[in-house]
Amino acid sequence: MTIVVCDHIHQKGLDILASDPEITMINAADEPKDILLEKFIPLADVAITRSSTDIDGKFLEKAEKLKAIVRAGVGVDNVDIPGCSKLGIVVMNVPTANTIAAVELTMTHMMSCVRKFPYAHNNLKIDRVWRRQDWYGTELKDKKLGIIGFGNIGSRVGKRAKAFEMDIVAYDPYISPSKATDLDITYTNDFEDILSCDIITIHTPKTDETRDIISTKEIERMKDGVILVNCARGGLYNEKALIEGLKSGKIAMAGIDVFDKEPATDHPLLDLDNVTVTPHLGANTRESQQNIAIQAAENAIASAKGISYPNALNLPIKESELPDFLRPYLELTQKIGHMSAQVTKSGVQSMKITTSGKVSEHIDSLTTFATVGVLKESLGDQINYVNAEHVAVERGMQVEKETALSGSGFENMVTLRLTTQNGNVFKISGTVLGDSAQRIVDIDGYALELEPKGNLILFKNNDEPGVIGDVGRLIAAHQVNIADFRLGRDGKGHALAVVKVDNTVTKALIEDLEALDACISARSVAI
């Protein structure tokens, strides 16, 4: 079996590939991309790539025998995952090899910010000025550190910050509080507790929920002289708001490793004298690069031999092998899982999937897709069809499945019931009309019919005159256009409206909807 290395990886990984007698390794990292595509990709059973090689239509057109792609790193922005799935090509990444590198870089930025290290260094080394009085810093000891996202990296930052005797608050609505409290770290589900911290660092995937999670309004509510650190993903902090906060002094210092658009060699942040910046160095340690190469090589060999597909990001079967009628149900089930997670916005205690009709023969696959959908809101690309069950168990999430006789009037039905850690329950049902028209037909007992697609507002209210008009006028006041409006009533004095809009739904719009007298709850969903 042939493994083609498309981009440069650490020599340790190359040695592992070369030493396996069942593998022919072609190192084409120095080849021009046109030669790579024409000469070497047609030979590949497995390809190892980094960010320099785009896995696009041109690449896949030449991949005559390719069964798997290993992205040596975390990001897969340069990989056409749907295109790979249609051809039965498994896409894998290496998500944890750079964990310690990212953790330690976070601590580096934190220390540099409190002691203004880069500026003191430049003042002495470059300017040759000895002025100790210009470089008074602060100490980490007894400072309150807010950690947004307490997963693989955030929790390790917390452990190290404990050694500095910091007071630590962790915010992550998708974990069990015990993950923080077991480390003698305070857990909160109130974001205001984070905004009151002396130093804030973020460690979440970049999703619709986390993009701009820190913006102008959040910065206004922070302490004067707060320090912000971002070594996760560009765009988690709104860059315009960050710059304004730094200029005004509201933010004393910021440590930034990632930018919204990279490379960022002409970025306004670089003009400020209260920022420490690095060019996306989260994975740039010798140990990290070695670990990435080793894991990539081992994963490539395992997939070439058909042993396993570690960290697969797509379904490791060809689309043609799925029953035709099942495909839209799998997609629908993942969508309602993702929708449920967005509505509940809390750690999931249990998930139950109930099926009726012919789809019940494939309840295991439907459960996997539902689990991926539920966890995708909090984990982004870290969740996949291979690790979903393991991650659910790791998070203490109970997964149940049952088949039932059809009593809904639909030939096939999939129902998902989520119970959150705070005891709330959310239930949603869907079916497929005709060959492929996906429809949600029930939300929490409210019968309605809607396509699970686009930007949606779920508005639950007391069923009284004038509410629909109030909702419409309020949405219009935010310069948002309504594309569709569906209404369900429970006959007990309550109603549920699902409003599809053309624009992204802002926090301000949801807050204004919640302020309406008739409102019971308002949630936004993007599918």
What pLDDT, on a 0 to 100 scale, did the predictor assign at position 306?
80
The residues assigned a catalytic role are 233, 262, 280
What pLDDT, on a 0 to 100 scale, did the predictor assign at position 390?
78
Domains in the chain: boundaries: 2-97+287-314, 99-277, 322-446, 454-527
Q: How buried is 150 (Cβ within 10 angstroms: 0-12 exposed, 13-18 middle, 19+ buried)? A: buried
Query: What is the CATH T-level fold of the domain 99-277, as seen in this structure?
Result: Rossmann fold (3.40.50)
What pLDDT, on a 0 to 100 scale, did the predictor assign at position 377?
85
Q: Concatenate the DSSP letters of all residues of 361-397 into one string.
A: GGHHHHHHHHHHHHHHHHHGGG--TTTHHHHHHHTT-
What pLDDT, on a 0 to 100 scale, did the predictor assign at position 95?
83
Tell me the mean pLDDT per 10 residues along the chain, length 527: 96 96 96 95 96 92 94 85 84 89 97 94 93 92 97 95 98 90 96 98 89 96 98 95 98 96 93 96 92 95 86 68 82 94 90 94 91 88 76 88 82 94 92 92 94 95 94 95 94 94 93 95 93
What pLDDT, on a 0 to 100 scale, did the predictor assign at position 316?
59
**Residue count of the chain:** 527
Report pLDDT digits (tens) over 241-251: 999 999 999 99
Say whether domain 322-446 belongs to CATH 3.40.30.10. Answer: no
Is 196 in contact with 223 (CB distance < 8 Å)? yes
What pLDDT, on a 0 to 100 scale, did the predictor assign at position 508?
93
42: left (phi over 0), alpha (psi -120 to 50) or beta: alpha
Say whether domain 2-97+287-314 belongs to CATH 3.40.50.720. Answer: yes
Q: Look up the CATH architecture of domain 454-527.
A: 2-Layer Sandwich (3.30)
What pLDDT, on a 0 to 100 scale, did the predictor assign at position 308?
79
Dihedral angle of Cα 453, 456, 458, 464, to the nearest 10 degrees: -110
2-97+287-314 and 99-277 have identical folds: yes
